[in-house]
Structure 1
Amino acid sequence: MQQSTRKAMEDRFPRLSEEVELDEKWLPLIDYLSTFGLKESHFIQMYERHMPSLQINVCSAKERLEYLLSVGVKQRDVRRMLLRQPQILEYTVENNLKSHVAFLMSLGIPSSRFGQIIAAAPSLFSYSIENSLKPTVRYLVEEVGIKEKDLGKVVQLSPQILVQRIDISWNTRLNFLSEEIGAPRDSIVKMVKKHPQFLHFSIDDGLLPRINFLRSIGMCNADILKVLTSLTQVSSVFASSQLSSGQRRSFTNCG
């Protein structure tokens, strides 16, 4: 690197220069990514998470990010996506990005929601469609019991459901709710369909304390199950301030 160029980069990015061996070839990419609001501290995070992401040719990076913007990703979400999944700069449009977007379409997800799903789960692109994503979908249909026509709605409600170990989360929560409140399988399936976020909640720190709270206000197991499967949003169950006195009365008829 020429001395003047090195000095200019060190002046612009003193922390980055101190922590990594800067290459002048990175500068066009860094300048481009800066237009999405990335700062010096963000480039350090990207370097620490996945160093090769800063070695991508700026033209290739532009092509990939512009494609994501074209399918609905918001410019304001690009920075957060890159910090979570800097490898996204390496995923080619033809061999990766388009095929994964087509996969979302195959689930019945409207194109207007692609950007939201990608922003929420950018690691989606790191998973093989044939070896990971399709088996996850099959598991949701064949083991959990989600109907194929409902898959798109479930993924829209919780995009992370495609990139987590569904078999582990499903089985542990199925067993927990069956044992804790006597929930039948079809009720738990209904819960997952309406609130797939349920599969992300910790049992010990999330589900059990809330169930105990509902018991403390006089609800029996049947009431608790009705609440979990009937309220519009899971957060309504998990925040006592959102459970109105009317809702409490409507679900406290143990008889």
Structure 2
Amino acid sequence: MEINSSHNSSIMWFFKDRGFDDKSIHQMFKKCKRLDGVQRERAYENWDYLRSIGIQDRKLPSVVAKCPKILTLHLDEKLIPMVQCLVTLETKPGEVASAITKFPHILSHSVEEKLCPLLAFFQALGVPEKQLGKMLLFNPRIISYSIESKLSQIVDFLASLGLTEEGMIGKVLVKNPFIMGYSVEKRLQPTLEFLKSIGLTKLDLQRVTVNFPEVVCRDVNKILRPNFTYLKGCGFEGGQIAALVTGYPPILIKSINNSLEPRIRFLVEVMGRRLEEVTDYPDFFRHGFKKRLQLRQKLLKQKNIYCSLSEMLDCNQKKFLLKFGLIE
């Protein structure tokens, strides 16, 4: 694909020098009309600055391809102030470079108009200062969300669940910053309705949201309902499934083939136990399959010891061995 000769030739040579092909250069000019007016010196300066803050050479082309506008921004007025502010939020070296690599558009936003109001919004929700950076740098896309039309809707949704205790909504957002990217109408509300339909109470829904917000973010038809249907097909009744979900909510988002099916088969066929036993101890699905389930079952069988699932699994290895006299 030949580049339009009317484009800024000096910036095109800049891209060629850095290994960009004609197609990707064309795409960048389509994304950012301002590239035509940028001086090559500014592009060099901005590129070198991105390297200086820790973005790896091999990742720089991808960063610029995603957000070519970065090369047009004024270094002292735009890029440096934003990076300096983000560095104050960093809890570990390299987090800012990693955030920019994930979402380069973070650098195109204004410190005064976007970052500061955003931080104030989260602080008002009770997000501790130390957690602000962790949340924003883990999911830098948050900076692109509108407080009025996007984030406030998420907060209202969480408040509607009864999470009105001070700081509670902030805790949910810190625990899973990606929840802010979902639509209340298309994703969060349908998930809530589904969880209600399988028997979860309002208090159950609050606990699921606070402790496992990732469950509330998942697609009902692609993930939650197939897992529910699988559990029902195994022989669990509706009330038992509600108890399982309440006790260990990730059961609805675990892989059927890689997690649920091998554990249930092991429970029944190898351990010789009834399905009802995991209803009383849903954390059965949390434990590692080989390192905990299989190993401990083998040790207990060798000594012909029988115990409840919680007695078998709800302790570390040292306590387990001592409890059942398995240490020589």
Same fold (TM over 0.5): yes
Measured at CA, do residues 10 and 118 of structure 1 come closer, stay the same or move farther in structure 2, by a change above 3 Å?
A: closer
Match of 1:166 among 220, 236, 242: 220
CA distance in 2, matches of 1:91, 1:153: 26
Given candidates 238, 244, 247, the residue that maps to 2:308 is: 247
Task: Tell me which protein shows more helix as a share of its residues.
Answer: 1
Counterpart of 1:219 (choices 261, 269, 272) is 272
**2:233 match:** 179
CA distance in 1, matches of 2:51, 2:222: 50
CA distance in 1, matches of 2:242, 2:221: 14
TM-aligned CA deviation for residue 61 of structure 1: 0.6
Q: What corresponds to 1:190 in structure 2?
A: 243
Q: CA offset at residue 126 of structure 1? A: 2.1
Corresponding residue of 2:171: 116
C-alpha contact 1:228 1:237 (8 A) present in aligned 2: no
Question: Mean Cα displacement is larger for which, 234-243 or 25-34?
Answer: 234-243
The question of 1:96 aligning with 2:150 is answered yes
- The aligned residue for residue 207 of structure 2 is 153
1:235 is matched with 286
Deviations 1:204-225 (A, max 9, x none): 11112222332355333xx2x3
Runs of 4+ in 1 over 6 A off after TM superposition: 241-244
Q: 1:242 to 1:159 in 2, by over 3 A?
A: farther
**Closer, same or farther: CA 12–147 of 1 in aligned 2, 3 Å:** same
Inter-CA distance 242–153: structure 2 relative to 1 (3 Å threshold) = farther
Q: Residues 144-174 of structure 1, C-alpha deviation per residue, up to 9 Å, x if partnerless?
A: 3323343212212310122111233232222
CA contact (8 A) 2:89 2:132 kept: yes
Q: 1:39 to 1:186 in 2, by over 3 A?
A: closer
TM-score, structure 1 length as denominator?
0.78
Structure 1 position 64, deviation (Å)? 0.6
Q: CA RMSD in A?
A: 3.5
The answer as to whether partners of 1:117 and 1:156 remain within 8 angstroms in 2 is yes
In the alignment, structure 2 segments of 5+ residues that lack a partner are 1-38, 65-69, 301-305, 313-328
Q: CA separation of 1:55/1:187 partners in 2, compared to 1, >3 Å: closer, same or farther?
A: same
Residue by residue, what CA displacement relative to the aligned partner does 1:160-214 show, whole Å, maximum 9, x if unpaired?
122111233232222322333x111221122112221111211111112222332
Structure 1 or 2, whichever has the larger Rg, is 2
Q: How far 1:104 sits from its partner (Å)?
A: 0.7
| Structure-2 separation of matches of 1:210 and 1:202 | 11
Alpha-carbon distance between aligned partners in 1 of 2:277 and 2:266, rounded to the nearest angstrom: 12
- Tell me the equivalent position of 2:103: 50
**One-letter code aligned to 2:266:** F
The whole-number CA distance in structure 2 between the counterparts of 1:248 and 1:136 is 30
- Please point out which of 127, 131, 146 is paired with 1:73: 127
Change (3 A) 1:84 1:166: farther
Q: Give the CA deviation at 1:34.
A: 0.6
Q: Aligned partners of 1:237, 1:10: CA distance in 2, in Å?
A: 41
Distance 1:165-1:15 versus aligned 2 partners, 3 A rule: closer
1:140 paired with 2:190, answer no
CA shift in 2, pair 1:170/1:12, >3 Å: closer
Q: 2:157–2:184: 8 Å Cα contact kept in structure 1? A: yes
Query: Matched residues in 1 for 2:256 and 2:143: separation?
Result: 35
Contact persistence 2:106–2:144 (CA under 8 A):
yes
